[in-house]
Amino acid sequence: MTKKILVIEDDKDIRETIVYVLEEQKYEVIASEDAKILKKIKDIDPDLILLDNWLTDWASDASGQQLSKGLKNNPATSHIPVILISAVSNLKEIAAAGDANGYLQKPFDLTALIDIVKLHVK
């Protein structure tokens, strides 16, 4: 069974790179430039969420940290691993405060991307 990964990243180049790399690894990837896709989370039913911490279009101005916290506090989505992605220097602390399962510091090595996905998608 193919594992499904939801990628929420507003930078088109980064989003397309993530999608390409993960599809090469035989994952099914659903990608979005904003977090509005989270309204369809039950239908998507991802095995992992890669979530940019700084989304410029999200109408509520919620950060990835806040979105992660909301996902983790919701019994229907709390089981889904969330990995925050950002270039901020304190990403480890931001991820912990958002109850994220991990983080990926930008710029990231493609091997690091694959490794963190494999760690959280069994």
- Strands of 102-105's sheet in order across: 28-32, 4-8, 48-52, 82-86, 102-105
CATH of domain 4-120: 3.40.50.2300
- The pLDDT of residue 56: 66
- The pLDDT of residue 1: 78
**Domain residues of the chain, as ranges?**
4-120
- The pLDDT of residue 24: 97
Q: What is the DSSP letter of 17?
A: H
Task: Please name which of 51, 49, 46, 1 lies closest in space to residue 26, comparing C-alpha atoms.
Answer: 1
Amino acid, single-letter form, for residue 45 = D
Q: Of all residues in the chain, what percent are helix, strand and coil, respectively (each to 5)?
A: 40, 20, 40
- The pLDDT of residue 55: 77
- The pLDDT of residue 17: 97
Q: Which residues of the chain have pLDDT under 70?
A: 56-61
pTM of the model: 0.94
Beta bridge partners of residue 104, listed in sequence order: 85
- The pLDDT of residue 61: 62
H or E stretch covering 43: helix 41-44
Whole-number mean pLDDT of the chain?
A: 93
- The pLDDT of residue 112: 97
